[in-house]
Amino acid sequence: MIPAEFDYVEPSTLEEALQILAARGEDAKVLAGGHSLVPLMKLRLAQPGVLVYLGRIPGLKGISLDGQRLRIGGMTTHAEVAASPLVRQHAPALAQAAHEIGDRQVRARGTIGGSLAHNDPAADLPAVMLALDAEMKLRSASGERTLKAEPFLVGMLETALRPDEILTEVSVAVSPRSAYVKFPNPASHYAITGVGVALQGNGTVTAARVGVTGAAPLAYRSAGAGAALTGRSLSAESISAAANAAYDGRELLSDIFASAEYRSMLVRVLTKRALEKISG
Ligand SMILES: Cc1cc2nc3c(=O)[nH]c(=O)nc-3n(C[C@H](O)[C@H](O)[C@H](O)COP(=O)(O)OP(=O)(O)OC[C@H]3O[C@@H](n4cnc5c(N)ncnc54)[C@H](O)[C@@H]3O)c2cc1C
């Protein structure tokens, strides 16, 4: 359980960090909270030649409201997201998900950028990112690009991030009518299944997004559940129609924690609970 040898640097500017990543390529790994990367290094599943710690770089942390979007720096911790009055008011699903991650210690060190870059299939945030129409800002020495959650989240433990890029900021659509619920693994608290929902419009739903994590190898947005809600007001019937549609006929995971059949039931039940949380 001892990692292989590595170099360690603490750049004080983003430009410096990006230059190191550009120079070292796949040999370099960004270090944020370390809660996913360090265990992988101890198991020797990751053996970076150099760790580039982002914690000394100003400007990578913080939460602000910018018109109809909330902007969150990549190094903002889960605890900061969960406690933010802005997030709680404008994107409650995100505050609820961040509050449910792991335990107090994990939330104090783990970051929004680290969690999304790691893209664990049982992580909470991917479902919320899909529900809240998130955009990821990726910086490299050669420029910047912005990706929506769907192209960003590529596969199990895989994203569109290149080795020379840093996820500097995540933005989500202001969605006061949003909620997240999960069925947690009792030991780690990772989501055996988790569902995030966001509704636009007061009364009649003008747009609905439902994100599901933990159930499938990759978090997904349920088109069926969104369609079942759009153009209707939230009622027992529309909630039930959305819950029944949320599984979407996907190929679901089956492992020691839950069978695929059990997960499909969780998708239905949790979608219903998330919508009931919004309807009060
Ligand atoms: C005991 C335990 C319980 C947990 N429970 C949960 C849970 O219930 N739900 C949940 O969702 N998660 C859970 N986690 C994971 C937790 O959310 C981690 O914080 C997260 O997965 C990684 O974030 P980090 O900041 O620690 O990233 P790190 O471990 O530092 O990095 C993870 C990966 O992302 C890369 N990276 C980090 N930041 C950036 C960036 N800004 N740009 C580009 N690449 C970057 C790193 O190079 C590395 O590959 C748990 C972890 C532990 C140890």
Among 56, 37, 57, CA closest to 48 = 37
Q: Are 146 and 118 in contact (CB under 8 A)?
A: no
62: left (phi over 0), alpha (psi -120 to 50) or beta: left
Q: Are 228 and 238 in contact (CB under 8 A)?
A: yes
Q: Are 235 and 180 in contact (CB under 8 A)?
A: no
Instruction: Give the model's pLDDT for residue 32.
Output: 98
Residue whose CA is at the smallest distance from ligand 1 atom 36: 114
Average pLDDT for the chain: 97
Instruction: Give the model's pLDDT for residue 1.
Output: 77
Over residues 63-81, the pLDDT tens digits come to 999 999 999 999 999 999 9
User: Which pair of tokens denotes residue 116?
Assistant: 């999304």
Residue whose CA is at the smallest distance from ligand 1 atom 43: 166
Q: Could you tell me if the CB of 99 is within 6 A of ligand 1?
A: no
User: Which pair of tokens denotes residue 234?
Assistant: 């939230």
Statement: residue 280 has pLDDT above 90: no
By CB atoms closer than 10 A (0-12, 13-18, 19+), residue 157 is middle
Q: What is the number of the ligand 1 atom nearest to the C-alpha of 184? A: 8
Over residues 173-201, the pLDDT tens digits come to 999 999 999 999 999 999 999 999 999 99
Distances (CA, A) of 259 to 161, 250, 264: 31, 14, 9
Q: What is the number of the ligand 1 atom nearest to the C-alpha of 39? A: 53
Statement: residue 27 has pLDDT above 80: yes
**Once rounded to an integer, what is the mean pLDDT over residues 88-98?**
98
Alpha-carbon distance of 255 to 122, in angstroms, equals 12
Q: What is the number of the ligand 1 atom nearest to the C-alpha of 29? A: 47
Over residues 218-273, the pLDDT tens digits come to 999 999 999 999 999 999 999 999 999 999 889 999 999 999 999 999 999 999 99
Q: Could you tell me if the CB of 105 is within 6 A of ligand 1?
A: no
